[in-house]
Amino acid sequence: MAKDIRIDPRGPRFGAAVTLVFAVAALVVGANNVGLVLSFLLAALFLPGAIVGPQATAQSAMFARWVRPRLAPPTETESFRAPRFAQQVGMAFAVLAILFLALNVVVGYFIAIGFIVLASFLNSVFDFCMGCEVYLLATRATRRA
């Protein structure tokens, strides 16, 4: 098992806000070439977070450079594991959106992008990370007594 990396929990929330902008744009432009480019961009934003963790994303670098210096230190930190799982889920939905567009399944594209919009909205606005909650539920369910 990889060592536990502690992160500022405000970073993934900022990352979700950045993701929300691109996901809403993909939803608005629709199932066309621009939507495909935006879906690839979303996948590229999720990829480092899905492999390494949210601390490796472009959004995290922006947060560390421009936002965190203006904030007080975090009162607590969190493990990177649940947010990494959330990034993996987001990556899966971005890949699904790309596949649906490639197969000309327009409804599937909108559903996949819609889930990204919903999850990033809940995280950025209400600090509710759906992927993190699923990770925690799965961890509790599989933990041995």
Does residue 2 sit within a domain? no
- Closest of 139, 54, 122 to residue 88, by C-alpha: 54
Assess whether pLDDT exceeds 60 at residue 6.
yes
Buried b (16+ CB within 10 A) or exposed e, 44-53: ebbbbbbeeb
Q: Are 8 and 83 in contact (CB under 8 A)?
A: no
User: Binning pLDDT at 50, 70 and 90, where does residue 3 land?
Assistant: confident
Q: What is the mean pLDDT of the chain?
A: 96
Packed helices 81-102 and 106-126: angle between N→C axes, nearest 10 degrees: 160
Q: Tell me the pTM.
A: 0.94
pLDDT score for 131: 97
Does residue 1 sit within a domain? no
Packed helices 81-102 and 130-142: angle between N→C axes, nearest 10 degrees: 120
Domain total for the chain? 1
Residue-number span of the structural domain to which 68 is assigned: 7-142
pLDDT score for 143: 86
